[in-house]
Each structure stands twice: as structure tokens, then as C-alpha cells.
Amino acid sequence: MGRIRNAAIGDLLSGAAAGQATEPLGERAVMLRGFAAAEAPAIMEAVQAIVAAAPFRNMITPGGYRMSVAMTSCGRVGWITDRSGYRYSPVDPDTGLAWPPMPGLFRTLAERAAAAGGFPDFVPDSCLINRYEPGARLSLHQDKDEQDLDAPVVSVALGLPAMFLFGGAERGDRPRRIRMESGDVAVWGGPTRLAFHGIDTLADGEHSLTGRCRINLTFRKALS
Ligand code: MD3
Ligand code: FE
């Protein structure tokens, strides 16, 4: 059976019936295995177009460290960090221009995933695009720069696999290690929205979709 026919069946059936595993991660948080697999090549093409207008860059933390993860954004605002702090900005500080608009493909994927995870009203206004090369990592942190913490975060993994570190409400809570693979989508809401989390050092490898890197999209409602 061809790729197009499989995608059509995937559109008609709900996750479980389509053979996609749904794993609970916490209260109001789920992992949708393979939810974005069929769309992954189209997502990567859209990422390339965004990166042509708003290149990946390794930003500086308020503490003065250069992040090993390279980032860019699309949507009404993008997440940035520099010596003065973390925040959302309507302008890309590297180009002085508005961030590229969020592609319809991105928005509908994020909204479908949020609905499948129990958040039917989610409308993202920002998509942070992270690029991990081998050796890059993201240390444990909370996402709390958004104005609306009742909205979930939807994350989409592409390319090389990574170990997601999923901690608790306190930085010192020992994190669980959850492998994320290309096409996996996670929805983080409710009390889990403020859990500490990070990505362990990316192992070297090669992926047919992305080459020698991992790309992660996180969709947020940053503005109220
Ligand atoms: C759990 N990104 O950009 S996405 C980030 O793979 C970030 O690039 C990671 O953490 C990445 O801030 C992980 C998964 C994720 C995103 C937000 C969360 C997990 C979350 C918010 C609360 C709890
Ligand atoms: Fe985060």
C-alpha cells in the first residue's frame, strides 16, 4: 500500500486506530508516537524556507553562556535570550525584521495534536525551532516566559533521536529519560506544563530527513 493511501487512512482514523501509540507522560500530558511522521518531509521543507529568512543562531544566556542548541522562530513572536534576559520578541534581533509567518501546515498540525491531547482550543502564536548537532544539549529548565500558562506546549521531534529528560515541579527531582524519535509529538499541559525538562547531549548519527542533526519544533501561545 502506498504512502498517500496510508496518509489518507491516518487522516480518517483517530491516533490509536491508526496504529499510533499514545503514552501518558503526566497529568494532562501525552506523547503521540509518530503523529507527525507522514508530514515530516513537508515540515522540513517549511523549516528550510524559514531558516532562509531567519537563520539559526546560538543565542547568549543572561549568564553569558552561548547555547549549544541553535534556534530560530516563526509566528507573531519568537523566543529570544541575550544578556538582558529571556523574552518573546515580535522582531528577529539578528535581521531586524518580523519573524517569518507560521506556515498553515505547522498551525494545523499543532492544533490537531493539541486536540488529540485534550486541548481542543489551542491556537499557537509562536513556534520555536531548535537545532541540535551532535554534542548539543538543553539543560533542565521550565518554560514560563509565556503569558498564558493555561495553554499547553506542543513539541514535534524530527531527525536524530534524543533522550528527553522529564523532571518534576522542583529542579532537584530526578528526571525520567524518554526517547523521542522523528515524528513523535508531545503535548504538555495542566500541572505538567511547568515541569522541569531538558534534552541530554545529542549522540552522533545521520538521519535521512535532517542529516546530522535533530530539529525540534515547540508551539506555544506566548501572548494573551
Ligand atoms: C515539558 N525544547 O525549547 S520539547 C524548549 O526538544 C524545549 O528542543 C526541547 O524544552 C527540545 O523549551 C523539548 C518538549 C517540551 C517542551 C515544553 C515543555 C517539554 C515540556 C514544557 C513543560 C514540560
Ligand atoms: Fe522547554
Length of the chain: 224
For ligand 1, which residues put their CB under 6 angstroms from it? 128, 130, 138, 143, 153, 155, 186, 188, 192-193, 195, 197, 199, 216, 218
Whether the Cβ atoms of residue 221 and residue 124 lie closer than 8 Å to each other? yes
Q: Whose CA is nearest to atom 6 of ligand 1?
A: 216
pLDDT, tens digit, for every residue of 14-70? 555 556 799 999 999 999 999 999 999 999 999 999 999 999 999 999 999 999 999
Over range 185-196, report the average pLDDT.
97
pLDDT at residue 83 is higher than 80: yes
CA dist 48 and 46 (Å) reads: 5
Q: How far is the CA of 141 from the centre of ligand 2 (A)?
A: 6
What is the DSSP track for 64-103?
Answer: SPBPSSEEEEEES-EEEEETTEEEEESB-TTTSSBPPPPP
| Domains of the chain as residue ranges with CATH | 21-220 (2.60.120.590)
Q: What confidence score (pLDDT) does residue 63 get?
A: 98
pLDDT, tens digit, for every residue of 102-141? 999 999 999 999 999 999 999 999 999 999 999 999 999 9
